[in-house]
Chain A
Amino acid sequence: MSNPKHLQYTKEHEWLTAAEDGVSTVGITAHAADALGDIVYVQLPEVGDTVTAGETCGELESTKSVSDLYSPATGEIVEVNQAVIDDNSLVNSAPFEGGWLFKVRVEATDELLDADAYTAFIGG
């Protein structure tokens, strides 16, 4: 599976879009979704919460394990993906599209990788 060129990535396997009007969309990569297996529960921050780059802001639970969700950016949450909360399998089936997790008004970000660097990082 390829990592879209227009996204940026963290070493914790999140992706985020270039900010539009200061807002970026965040999700987890196909590599991460595949490693977790079928996602059965998604806990996301709430609209209005402030998240901090590199800190946990939620949970992804799969059949076999629980993983922390790290925020790739610092800023205020402006939207969460209700479709993913209702149907967790979107994270597995469309991690870069319908399976996005939240939108954040970006004040700062962690160190980010471009698609090629991330692909190399995961050994692809």
Chain B
Amino acid sequence: MSLRHTALDALHRSLGATMTDFAGWDMPLRYGSEREEHLAVRNRAGLFDLSHMGEITVSGPQAGAMLDHALVGFISALGVLRARYTMICREDGGILDDLIVYRTAEDEYMVVANASNAQVVLDALTERAEGFDAVVRDDRDAYALIAVQGPEANGILASVTDADLPGLKYYALLPATVAGRQVWLARTGYTGEDGFEVFCAPADAEHLWQALTEAGTGAGLVPCGLSCRDTLRLEAGMPLYGHELSTDLTPFDAGLGRVVRFDKTTNDGAFVGRKALEQAAAEAESNPPRKLVGLVSEGKRVPRAEYDVVDADGTVIGRITSGTPSPTLGRPIAIAYLDAAHAEPGTAVAVDVRGKHEPVEVVALPFYKRAR
């Protein structure tokens, strides 16, 4: 199968990006040093092409009620121009994907799915819309998505838009004009920094990328690839589908039970997966099997996804879901599912790094929190 290309593909190549296959998309992995890109986002600003994310529009008089039925969140309770992190689960409670839902109008929502799950989410929403007065539209090709992230993001964006940025709260969005182009401007980052996402027409993507690049040059903005996006989100303790989240786990297993809203008032409180999730909630309360924790390594070797976590006797007590050298902490960090008995912060455990047990310490997530 041939790879899909974003509207910014030619630009990435002109910038000398190292490209990688990500969920069927040919995406920039890094432009130069991924470490420098990471630190640019922490200290200044970074520019990301996220056009591989999957946008799905749900509209109609019962759009909110339909999403309350299809997703675990209380979507119809969301204010217009607000956003929410939520999940779509199977009947058995397994996570199909984690999502951000933006309410773009009284009777319209934009659901943003991970690239790898966009088709699955589209199919599930289409099926679950049956019987509701709501229309599910595949808008994957209607949008390109550019993110500006970092402490300088606000100033950079302010120089190319008249939009009310101080009035744009975290997890909110606005219709706005940026560098002369009509966009949806959202404040929903995935890096642990302040930042913005610009949903635009693919035909406008290059113009906007260039305008933001020029606006950010003095502030030290650099183009950033998926490699540093992953290390940034890992430091911020944010889950990634396929690593921390999967169909084998419920939101409660992932420590994200708060996204499941049993208090919905639409559809008599019924939603796909409710029964299984009620069970999962009770089990997480009384007898949690494993917990999602952070690990910080004392050495230099990196605990990576799929590596076993072991106790002093070498007994396997968990498994790494994501691991990386942390540019901000200067040490390797990892996220792992760990038996509840060992999950207390401060506990000394070890990771089996290709046969050698490297000592690590259990810590609370996230590893990094920006000063506000």
Residues on A facing B (Cβ under 8 Å): 37-38, 40-41, 43, 61, 63-64, 66, 92
Interface contact A37-B227, CB-CB below 8 Å? yes
Report the bound CA distance from A38 to B304 in whole Å.
16
The 8 closest A-B pairs by CB, nearest first: A40-B325, A41-B300, A38-B35, A63-B34, A38-B33, A41-B301, A37-B34, A38-B34
| Residues in chain A near residue B35, CB distance under 8 A | 38, 63
Query: A124 CB to closest chain B CB, in angstroms?
Result: 15
Nearest A residue (CB) for B231: A63
| 9 A-B interface contacts by CB (under 8 A) | A37-B18, A37-B30, A37-B227, A41-B301, A43-B301, A61-B301, A66-B304, A66-B354, A92-B33
Residues on B facing A (Cβ under 8 Å): 18, 30, 33-35, 227, 231, 300-302, 304, 324-325, 332, 354
Report the bound CA distance from A66 to B304 in whole Å.
10
Interface contact B301-A64, CB-CB below 8 Å? no
Query: A79 CB to closest chain B CB, in angstroms?
Result: 21
Nearest B residue (CB) for A43: B301
| Residues in chain A near residue B18, CB distance under 8 A | 37
| Residues in chain A near residue B227, CB distance under 8 A | 37, 63-64
Report the bound CA distance from A61 to B33 in whole Å.
15
Nearest B residue (CB) for A42: B300
| Residues in chain B near residue A38, CB distance under 8 A | 33-35
| Residues in chain A near residue B300, CB distance under 8 A | 40-41, 61
Report the bound CA distance from A40 to B325 in whole Å.
7
Report the bound CA distance from A64 to B29 in whole Å.
10
Query: B150 CB to closest chain A CB, in angstroms?
Result: 19
Report the bound CA distance from A64 to B30 in whole Å.
11
Report the bound CA distance from A64 to B228 in whole Å.
10
Q: Which of A41, A43, A64, A92 has the most CB of B within 10 A?
A: A64
Query: B281 CB to closest chain A CB, in angstroms?
Result: 36
Report the bound CA distance from A63 to B327 in whole Å.
10
| Residues in chain A near residue B302, CB distance under 8 A | 40-41, 61, 66
| Residues in chain B near residue A43, CB distance under 8 A | 301
Interface contact B354-A63, CB-CB below 8 Å? no
Query: B234 CB to closest chain A CB, in angstroms?
Result: 11
| Residues in chain B near residue A92, CB distance under 8 A | 33
Query: A63 CB to closest chain B CB, in angstroms?
Result: 5
Report the bound CA distance from A92 to B34 in whole Å.
12
Query: B27 CB to closest chain A CB, in angstroms?
Result: 14
Nearest A residue (CB) for B30: A37
Nearest A residue (CB) for B332: A40
| Residues in chain A near residue B325, CB distance under 8 A | 40-41, 63
| Residues in chain B near residue A64, CB distance under 8 A | 34, 227
Query: B352 CB to closest chain A CB, in angstroms?
Result: 14
Nearest B residue (CB) for A64: B227
Report the bound CA distance from A61 to B325 in whole Å.
10
Query: A80 CB to closest chain B CB, in angstroms?
Result: 16
Interface contact B324-A63, CB-CB below 8 Å? yes
In the complex, besides A63-B227, A64-B227, 5 extra interface pairs with C-beta distance below 8 angstroms are A38-B35, A40-B325, A41-B302, A61-B301, A66-B304
Report the bound CA distance from A63 to B332 in whole Å.
10
Query: B17 CB to closest chain A CB, in angstroms?
Result: 12
Report the bound CA distance from A85 to B156 in whole Å.
39
Query: A44 CB to closest chain B CB, in angstroms?
Result: 13
Query: A66 CB to closest chain B CB, in angstroms?
Result: 7
Report the bound CA distance from A115 to B18 in whole Å.
24
Query: B260 CB to closest chain A CB, in angstroms?
Result: 33
| Residues in chain A near residue B324, CB distance under 8 A | 63
Query: A42 CB to closest chain B CB, in angstroms?
Result: 9
Report the bound CA distance from A9 to B325 in whole Å.
30
Q: Which of A40, A43, A92 has the most CB of B within 10 A?
A: A40
Report the bound CA distance from A92 to B32 in whole Å.
11
Query: A101 CB to closest chain B CB, in angstroms?
Result: 16
Query: B332 CB to closest chain A CB, in angstroms?
Result: 8
| Residues in chain A near residue B354, CB distance under 8 A | 66
Report the bound CA distance from A64 to B322 in whole Å.
11
Nearest A residue (CB) for B299: A41
Report the bound CA distance from A23 to B196 in whole Å.
56
Report the bound CA distance from A19 to B347 in whole Å.
51
| Residues in chain A near residue B30, CB distance under 8 A | 37
Query: A92 CB to closest chain B CB, in angstroms?
Result: 7
